[in-house]
A and B are shown apart, each in its own frame.
Chain A
Amino acid sequence: MLRYAIGRVLAGIPTLLLVAVFIFSLIHLTPGDPAVLLAGDNATPSQVEQIRSRLNLDLPIWEQFGIWFGDAIQMDLGYSIYSGKPVTELILQRVEPTLVLSFVTLVMTVAIAVPLGAVAAWKANSMVDRFAMGFAVAGFSIPVFVIAYVIVYGFAVRWRLFPVQGYKWLADGWLATLHSVTLPSISLALIFAALIARVTRASVLEALSENYVRTAHAKGLGAPRILFVHALKSVGVPVVTVIGIGLATLIGGVVVTESVFNIPGIGRLTVDAITRRDYPVIQGVILFFSTALILINIVVDLSYALIDPRVRG
Chain B
Amino acid sequence: MKAIYILWLRQIKRYYRSKSRVVGSLGQPLLFLVALGFGFGPIYQRAGGGNYIQFLAPGVIAMSIIFTAVFMGIEIIWDKQFGFLKETLVAPVSRFKIMIGRTLGGGTVAVLQGIIVFLISLIVGFRPMDLNLLPLAFVFMILIAVLFTAIGTAIASVLEDMQGFQLIMNFLLMPLFFLSGALFPLDGMPEAIVLVASIDPLSYGVDGLRATMVDGAHFGLSVDILVLSVVTAIFVAIGSYLFSKIQI
A and B part of one assembly: no
